[in-house]
């Protein structure tokens, strides 16, 4: 659990906080990912920390920039995207710096597929593919890819990038390195004018669930064609669409007046099954691996809550100061 205001991560097991890791930097937009028995935390102010899963203690820390936005892994490397300085930073898994790659742009949408590393350059309207086998040299660049790329999704070998200034998504095949663009439209053929960060999408098999920014609407997309298949009206402005691992349930939280609410839907039909009052400002959601529990961080209550049952209801809570991101340790990464 990210403790947003305190620069800490709380580790919860069996319904209680069993450890805390401090001095992780500004965690207002933190990212936590797991790889080879460790959790890697990148802070908004450019600190990258490695937390050992067995000992639950920090084992390495490095300053990778003044403003960092995301990370990914390529076998024995971790790659970080920076806003400032405007570069990609490559480190080994113990956070020893290997290489810095200047880009001349804020870097977003960092994703790895095999030996290839794809990034989007927000200020240059370009996509770059770097190759780890070639000392992370530039293997392919797509110029004039679209107006201000701002995030990307990796689906199979497809690098799908969204643009801030036009209702288009770009699709870069990381196997063939072919690129094409698709206009993102509603069922009625109208353009979807703004795509949210892809981390807010729910993705399952060949479908994605897209919260429409500024609209009480959720759209279902076919990832093969990026065509809008269905839409549903929601009781508020959606933030995250979270799918259960078994694909049978979709959970949505909100900003604004409905920020205490979580809506549960059937992913097949987009029928609303239940609205649950969970707590004050639900920030993030995550299902348990068996899909039987839903964890929600309630920021203003300083609580992490768990929901279960039929109908779903709050059945447990753990005090955590200023909780935001919920990240589950994968089964293969547990000690």
- Domain ranges within the chain, ordered by starting residue: 200-335
Read off the pLDDT of residues 80-109 as tens digits, 9 standing for 90 and up: 999 999 999 999 999 999 999 999 999 999
User: What's the confidence (pLDDT) of residue 55?
Assistant: 86
Mean pLDDT within 13-30: 93
Read off the pLDDT of residues 204-238 as tens digits, 9 standing for 90 and up: 889 999 898 788 999 899 999 988 888 899 999 99
Asked whether residue 189 carries a pLDDT value surpassing 70, the answer given is: no
Asked whether residue 69 carries a pLDDT value surpassing 80, the answer given is: yes
pTM recorded for the entire structure: 0.92
Mean pLDDT within 271-277: 97
236-271 burial: b if 16+ Cβ within 10 Å, else e: bbbbbbbbbeeeebbbbbbbeebbbbbbbbebeebe
Pairing state of beta strands 16-21 and 8-13? antiparallel
Mean pLDDT of the chain: 93
User: What's the confidence (pLDDT) of residue 8?
Assistant: 95
Asked whether residue 241 carries a pLDDT value surpassing 90, the answer given is: yes
What is the CATH code for 200-335? 2.130.10.10
Closest by Cα among 246, 308, 319 to 274: 308
Burial of 162 (0-12, 13-18, 19+ CB in 10 A): buried
Mean pLDDT within 4-16: 93
Q: What percent of the chain shows pLDDT beyond 70?
A: 95
Mean pLDDT within 58-63: 95
Q: Give me the phi and psi of 265, to 5 degrees please.
A: -130, 160
Asked whether residue 334 carries a pLDDT value surpassing 60, the answer given is: no
Asked whether residue 193 carries a pLDDT value surpassing 80, the answer given is: no
User: What's the confidence (pLDDT) of residue 87?
Assistant: 98
Q: Give me the phi and psi of 133, to 5 degrees please.
A: -75, -15
pLDDT confidence of 61, banded at 50, 70, 90? very high
């Amino acid at each position: 659990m990210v403790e947003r205001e305190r620069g800490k991560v709380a580790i919860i097991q069996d319904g209680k906080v069993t450890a805390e890791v401090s001095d992780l930097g500004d965690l207002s937009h933190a990212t936590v990912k797991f790889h080879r028995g460790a959790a890697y935390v990148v802070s908004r102010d450019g600190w990258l920390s490695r937390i050992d899963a067995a000992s639950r203690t920090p084992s390495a820390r490095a300053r990778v920039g003044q403003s960092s936005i995301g990370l990914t892994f390529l076998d024995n490397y971790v790659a970080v995207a920076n806003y400032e300085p405007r570069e990609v930073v490559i480190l080994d898994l113990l956070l020893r710096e290997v290489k810095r790659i200047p880009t001349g742009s804020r870097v977003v949408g960092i994703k790895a597929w095999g030996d290839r590393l794809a990034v989007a350059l927000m200020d240059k309207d370009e996509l770059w593919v770097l190759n780890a086998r070639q000392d992370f040299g530039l293997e392919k660049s797509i110029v004039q890819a679209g107006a201000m790329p701002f995030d990307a999704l990796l689906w199979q070998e497809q690098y799908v990038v969204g643009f801030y200034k036009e209702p288009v998504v770009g699709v870069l095949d990381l196997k063939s390195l072919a690129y094409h663009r698709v206009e993102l439209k509603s069922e009625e053929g109208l353009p979807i004018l703004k795509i949210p960060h892809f981390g807010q999408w729910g993705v399952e098999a060949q479908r994605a669930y897209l919260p429409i920014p500024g609209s009480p609407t959720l759209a279902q997309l076919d990832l093969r064609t990026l065509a809008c298949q269905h839409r549903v009206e929601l009781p508020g402005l959606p933030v995250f669409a979270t799918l259960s691992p078994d694909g049978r349930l979709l959970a949505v939280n909100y900003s604004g007046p409905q920020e205490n609410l979580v809506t549960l839907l059937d992913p097949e039909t987009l029928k609303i099954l239940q609205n649950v009052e969970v707590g004050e400002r639900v920030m993030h959601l995550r299902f348990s691996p068996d899909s039987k529990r839903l964890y929600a961080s309630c920021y203003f209550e300083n609580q992490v809550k768990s929901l279960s049952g039929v109908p779903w209801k709050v059945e447990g809570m753990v005090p955590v100061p200023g909780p935001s991101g919920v990240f589950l340790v994968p089964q293969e990464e547990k000690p």
